[in-house]
Amino acid sequence: MANFSFPLISITEGAAHLHIPDMNQYRVPTEAPVFYNFLMELNRDVAILAVKTYQASHNDPLTILLPLAATGVRGIRFQLELTNIHRIILNDVSLQAYTLMEHNLRLNHLSGLIEIQNTDAIVFLNKFAKRGQRADVIDIDPFGSPTRFIDSAIRALKMKTGLICLTATDMAPLCGVTPAACLRKYGGKPLRTEYCHELAVRLCLNALITTAAKYEIGITPILCYSIDHYIRVYALLQSGALKADATLQELGYIVHCFKCDYRSSTKNLLSLGSNCPDCGTSLDHAGPLWLGALYDTAFCERVLSENAQMHLRTKKRIKKMLQFILEEASGPLTYHNVHRICRQYKLSAIPMPELLGDLQSQGFFASRTHFSRVSIRTNASRAQIAETIKKFNEYK
């Protein structure tokens, strides 16, 4: 094993063989000299599946940029597990990361096939902003917020067909624990609600959309999810002022009553009263945020199909997540925590399939949601959900 100033261990992930810092020596991954998080393997697995699916509709070989590459694992896996690659360029501002990437490329016999750079991520992205040098795919996977990299990433992507992939791990701001930080970073107000993880995705999309619109570029989300300690966004660029305007038209607000859990969406806060229509309590709001679809179902179905054909350690989790996404994709905004409803109305919990089936038999949309294992997505009101649970308890 190479001579580094910190202890290394050998691992495999996907098709890649890697040397990474021995994480047992550090309390958290961020304390290691070069960042690697075992918990993000699913993130990287989905990235492989998503780019592979995206690639199927593009004939030309792909150029992929990774401005925050750390150990190089994501880029190495792209090279080994995808086909029809033109260029993969990895970058990290850390010299230790650059040296370890170089070592891991040799370990996987990829020296000369993958380019690596050692500079600031924004400086790196700006190098590709000229026409003819732009990338097909940019994957931004920071510790914290991706927003300060979005402007440079938009300019470094092909404006008509580019795929941007964003990770955000700063869930405290996005979920309303530190709302001022969310407003600064994402340009929208969060709310600490039971559906805050969905709001987090929609707030991240607000930052992406408003940044892209400055360059007359529209954004189409194709796969967005929240899992473990982070959110992830995959979106396509569409060049043109009309595309940008159409995307901006889908920004708005979600209003919420913290007394009775009423919620609604609007593109104009002034069009709604300040009090809850159900109980009269003052309403709060989140936004501006994205009110449109979070998924392209055809794309998600193809990702699910790709997952079935690959041998990934996180295969079962990905399958379950994508199945829930496909179930909820056509549903209304926000979801309801069933356990919380049972506590509020002093009811016994009932099996989720029975609850969903009963709501569907009443004519409501009802599905599970990948955002929360104890929640459902439905256009039934809170009271209607509670009444359905109550009737089941009475007749069981």
Q: Is 32 part of any domain?
A: yes
Q: Tell which of 231, 247, 263 closes a domain.
A: 247
**Residue-level pLDDT, tens digit, the chain, 396 residues:** 567 889 999 999 999 999 999 988 888 888 889 999 999 999 999 999 999 999 999 889 999 999 999 999 999 999 999 999 999 999 999 999 999 999 999 999 999 999 999 999 999 999 999 999 999 999 999 999 999 999 999 999 999 999 999 999 999 999 999 999 999 999 999 999 999 999 999 999 999 999 999 999 999 999 999 999 999 999 999 999 999 999 999 999 999 999 999 999 999 988 888 999 999 999 999 999 999 999 999 999 999 999 999 999 999 999 999 999 999 999 999 999 999 999 999 999 999 999 999 999 999 999 999 999 999 999 999 999 999 999 998 876
Structural domain harbouring 334: 297-395
User: At a CB cut-off of 8 Å and minimum separation 6, what does 10 contact?
Assistant: 1, 17, 18, 19
pLDDT the model gives residue 25? 86
Q: If we measure between CA atoms, which residue out of 269, 169, 154 comes closest to residue 209?
A: 154
- The CATH code of the domain that includes 107 is 3.40.50.150
Q: Is 261 part of any domain?
A: no
pTM (2 decimals)?
0.96
For residues 338 and 203, membership in a common domain is answered with no
pLDDT the model gives residue 24? 85
Strand 62-66 relative to strand 137-140, pairing: parallel
User: How many domains, the chain?
Assistant: 2
For residues 27 and 165, membership in a common domain is answered with yes
Q: Is 20 part of any domain?
A: yes
Given a contact cutoff of 8 angstroms between Cβ atoms, the answer to whether 378 and 365 are in contact is yes
- The CATH code of the domain that includes 329 is 3.30.56.70
Q: Is 383 part of any domain?
A: yes
For residues 53 and 190, membership in a common domain is answered with yes
For CA atoms 377, 382, 388, 391, the dihedral sign is positive
